[in-house]
Amino acid sequence: MKIKELGEFGFIDLIAKMTKPSSGVIKGIGDDCAVLPFNRSNYLLFTCDMLVEDVDFTSRDKPYLIGRKSLGVCLSDIAACGGTPCYAQVSLGLPEDTSSKRAVELYQGIISQAKQFEVKIVGGDVSRSEKLVINVSLLGLVKHKDLILRKGAREGDVIFVSGSLGGSIYGKHLTFTPRLKEVKYIVNNYKPNSMIDISDGLIQDLSHILKQSNKGAVVFQELVPVSASARKLEEALYMGEDFELLFTLGLSQARRLIKSKKNKQFTAIGSIIDKPRSLVLFNRQGKRINFNPDKMSSVKGYKHF
């Protein structure tokens, strides 16, 4: 069987079965970050992301923005677990005809994100490659009480998203701001039961929460906040690369968030139901569209294979 037949998530599931973590690991493969023991108050968060030319960006994009994105996607992973980023290593695969000016501008973009979020760049690697490849590994910390994983959604939870969705490929995927400030507000004032960042599309990423939590969901399309950049509604549901937060709160806390002064930053779009392997989307005409989170190949969203 070829990788494209197995699919991205089928391949990840295969790797997970081959690399079962030791008993000391809090969370291994299957979430936004690996979660490792650290001290009496904190867990260590560990994530990495690889960006590849003609997959995650093009040669026409500004190198500064490419560099900015490369660290930004890892920062978004740390945010999705409720944490604070600390240290990064950056590895570059560079075509040998890359100008030094372009390479420096690329790294300046990385440094700008690092400075904004107080991340220290402490190493990395450089290699020759056919196309530009950037791999960032990032360590962060999260208080034990603040850790949020995908698996905690409960029946009756209200589903929220931050910001607006869709149209990211037209520019936002290079200029987004990781939602670390927003997640700090959420964990300091509420207790989310589950969270993920939206990188592969709202419906597909919600499916990850449902699969991990063994729950179902109902989403109302008319409630989904659509970005002004989106050219059609479906882009807000399936396009991905928004790097917004998708999280669930118990009903009483959800009501409090909706009534708060910060409610304009977060939108309630549906609820969690006690019906595993069920995701129902009601469109604006009231028609229901069914998805099966257990069969990711049938769920619309970005997939590498």
Q: With CA atoms as reference, report the closest residue to 43 among 35, 51, 33, 32.
A: 35
Query: What is the C-alpha separation between 16 and 268, in angstroms, rounded?
Result: 33
Architecture of the domain spanning 149-298: Alpha-Beta Complex (3.90)
Domain limits, the chain: 31-145, 149-298
DSSP result, 95-143: -TT--HHHHHHHHHHHHHHHHHTTPEEEEEEEEE-SS-EEEEEEEEEEE
Return the CATH fold of 31-145. 60s Ribosomal Protein L30; Chain: A; (3.30.1330)
Strand partners, 88: 121, 138
188 and 181 in contact (C-beta within 8 Å)? no
How far are the Cα atoms of 23, 142, 145, 209 from residue 40, in angstroms, in the given order?
Answer: 17, 11, 11, 28
Q: What is the pLDDT along the chain (305 residues), one digit of tens a residue?
A: 776 776 666 776 777 777 777 778 999 999 999 999 999 999 999 999 999 999 999 999 999 999 999 999 999 999 999 999 999 999 999 999 999 999 999 999 999 999 999 999 999 999 999 999 999 999 999 999 999 999 999 999 999 999 999 999 999 999 999 999 999 999 999 999 999 999 999 999 999 999 999 999 999 999 999 999 999 989 999 999 999 999 999 999 999 999 987 667 999 999 999 999 899 999 888 888 888 776 655 555 555 54
The single-letter code of the amino acid at 129 is S
137 near 47, Cβ under 8 Å? yes
Residue 222 is classified by DSSP as G
